Chain A
Amino acid sequence: MAINVLIVDDSGVMRAMILKSLNMSGLPLGDTHQAANGQEGLDVLNQNWVDLVIADINMPVMNGEEMIECMKQKPETKDIPIVVISTEGSEKRLERLRQKGAAFIHKPFSPELIRDTIRNLMGLGGADDGGAD
């Protein structure tokens, strides 16, 4: 039942903010993993069971779009739900991400938006069964 989450962002402060939002969300969290770019993210996915990926787009080494592309090509990772959290404002890029099935959250974000987006994406039901906030 607990959700194992991987947070991929090149900013350690942003990863901490996302983790804080998750902790406040009342979602049933399991293990949380962090990675600083897409390649590190794929390495974590290779070695751990992850139920949800939260990823930035603009990152050095391997960006979020490339990471998602790689995830989609492997049977073990192609169905993992993905939330992209980015400053990206380009409709073209957002459309490409939507076509790959990723949900999108714009930075700056509110903790409530992260919670609701994950609930919708993972079919976790109503707003009153979490209760931690």
Chain B
Amino acid sequence: MTAEQIKETLYKVAGEVLEKLAFIFSFPEEEREPMDYSDAVIARVSFTGPFKGTLLMAVSKEALPEIAGNMLGLEDNSDAAAEQQYDALKELINVICGNLLPAIAGKQTVFNVEAPHIISSDEMMNSRGAGQPSSAAKLDMDDGQCDLMLYIEN
């Protein structure tokens, strides 16, 4: 797959998972500035397999209650506790990563996806210090933004 195809796949998978799992519509905004990560909740998941690497996902703090509320089926979105909001983001990145890797590497491949974690924006900056992501996606949603960064190590 070319870098361009990987990026397209990242956009497609992220958009579909946000819609089907969290009932959130998102729009690719390739040209916009990266988000303000100090005002975001960030999740990280690592994987090994035919290639290994990391996926990062940042979501605006103000967008997360609706995402978690939709996933939990809450009537009032503000009712999702912080822990549930983190859990919702972790499951989102888990499902995005699980769908992304075979879409890139093929259905015959076997990847091991580790448990996702919530990380601070400082930790995220450190990961980014490792260099440019292999691929990145910028999405806009009604209540905020979502950035995804895919790092492939080999």
| Number of inter-chain CB pairs below 8 Å | 66
Q: A123 on the interface (CB 8 Å rule)? A: no
Q: Are B72 and A16 in contact (CB under 8 A)?
A: yes
Q: Are B113 and A58 in contact (CB under 8 A)?
A: yes
Cα(A20)–Cα(B75), bound, Å = 13
Contact partner of B111 (CB less than 8 A), chosen from A13, A17, A90, A91, is A90
Cα(A93)–Cα(B98), bound, Å = 13
Overall SS of chain A's interface: loop
Q: Are B102 and A90 in contact (CB under 8 A)?
A: yes
Stretch at the interface among A43-51, A66-74, A81-89: A81-89
Q: A120 on the interface (CB 8 Å rule)? A: no
State the Cβ distance, B18 to closest chain A Cβ, in Å: 9
Q: Are B21 and A88 in contact (CB under 8 A)?
A: no
Which residues of A pack against B, CB within 8 Å? Answer: 10-14, 16-17, 20, 58, 60, 86-93, 107-110
The 10 closest A-B pairs by CB, nearest first: A87-B98, A89-B102, A108-B20, A108-B21, A11-B91, A90-B110, A13-B87, A20-B73, A13-B88, A107-B95
